[in-house]
Amino acid sequence: MTVQRSAAILPSVSDSTSGARPRRRRVLRGVLAVLALGFVAGCWACSPVYVIKAGIAEAKILRARRPIPEVLADPATDPDTRGKLAWVVEARRFAVERMGVDAGEAYTMYTRLERDTLALVLSAAERDRFAPKTWWFPVVGRVPYKGYFDQDDAREAQRDLEAEGFDTYLRPTSAFSTLGWFNDPILSTVLSSDDVDVVETVLHELSHNFLFVPGQVGFNESFATFAGRVGAVEFFCTRPGSGPDSVKCARAQARWRDEQRFSAFLDALVDELRTLYDSDATREDKLRRREEIFAAALARFDAEVAPSFEDYGYGGFRRTPLNNATLLSRIFYYHRLPDFQAMLDEHGGDLAAVMRALEEGVGGVDDPFDLLPVGSGPPPPSAALGYVPAGL
């Protein structure tokens, strides 16, 4: 399964690293920025204890930051970390020069965490309808998830939501974006992925700096999935020393096709459930029939969908119990990905042109997904077909 990440689940608070101000002052200003921004909806949406704990955890990340060039030049840096950070530097340059992203100072710093997970992301939804529980954040608006640095706090919040009758989903994340407001460091949790996914994650998160529509989480994350995956294809299929015949180019293409197939499967399942939830059936009937739909979907996934995957197995989908929270959390990242590909085709494979068209168009529609072509299907089950960057 692809790297888990979320945009602005818990805003980073690092500021510019230029100048000679002491690190202690930078950390203090970061913590104050957390409190000043409200971090999450302010004290009426979550407890002051939550804000303080998050600020302390973020301050630890700030204290551990190092400029990437310094880490690359350090003889003590292990070869794997050095190699992955070199990809980060290249991917960041690619995002600026080829995708038109204003990266600011994001991903010029590196933080090594003493754990394999950055944070836990908690989401919840009504059991008999697709209605996510949301929290309001400054700048980004309402979002259907909340982040925790502390596992015990996350599980306690999950139990509270389940006691209120919600479906829940608690998952790890390795990266997030603050939409260009702060200097996001690349984290060691991201570097645990292979080279293709490291590049994809950087491009995914930086694409939020380019286009982010407040209150439209599903569009923002699906757009970032598209931009990250297609950007990774163009990156590996056009860079000197790699090219269209390289293993990494083929792997990046296969993963983008796999994500389109997974998207088509999820969209169909959600549509089926939405029809049930919108019906006049009783709540008890809806809950009973949804379990039948879940069972049939899993059987279909095993028999028809999983065998078509070229690179990903999506084992996480089978290991996680199906409920409305787990489905909504995934559909936010995988909604209508084949239609994004169709728009790319209409623009001759020019990713930057698609990004500009979406950026220019979102102000004129209520639903940003209305900008996409309708009715595109998943790609054929053939590794020979897929995105070919413009100019190849």
Phi, psi at residue 18, to the nearest 5°? -75, 160
β-strands 119-125, 135-137 pairing: unpaired
Residue 166 is which amino acid? Answer: F
Supply the pLDDT for residue 96: 97
pTM of the model: 0.82
SS3 content of the chain, % helix, strand, coil (to 5): 55, 10, 35
Alpha-carbon distance 202 to 196, whole Å? 10
Token pair for residue 342?
A: 């169709």
Supply the pLDDT for residue 324: 97
CB-count burial class (<10 Å; 0-12, 13-18, 19+) for 220: buried
Which residues have C-beta within 8 Å of that of residue 87, sequence separation ≥ 6? Answer: 195, 198, 199, 202
Residues of the chain whose pLDDT is less than 50? 1-4, 6-46, 382-387, 389-392
Question: Number of C-alpha atoms within 13 angstroms, CB side, residue 323?
Answer: 17
Supply the pLDDT for residue 99: 97
Token pair for residue 25?
A: 């002052």
Supply the pLDDT for residue 65: 85
Are the beta carbons of 188 and 19 closer than 8 angstroms? no
Alpha-carbon distance 358 to 352, whole Å? 10
* Residue the block writes with tokens 């139990």: 159
Supply the pLDDT for residue 28: 38
How many residues does this entry show for the chain?
A: 392
Q: Which residues pair with 146 in a beta bridge?
A: 122
Residue 96: closest CA among 14, 202, 4, 237: 202
Question: Number of C-alpha atoms within 13 angstroms, CB side, residue 378?
Answer: 25
Alpha-carbon distance 215 to 104, whole Å? 23
Alpha-carbon distance 28 to 26, whole Å? 5
Q: List C-alpha distances in Å: 90 to 38, 97, 98, 200, 301.
A: 34, 10, 11, 12, 37
Which residues have C-beta within 8 Å of that of residue 242, sequence separation ≥ 6? Answer: 236, 248, 249
| Digit-coded pLDDT (tens) for 210-267 | 999 988 989 999 999 999 999 999 999 998 877 788 999 999 999 999 999 999 999 9
Q: What angle do CA 56, 62, 64 make, to 5 degrees?
A: 110
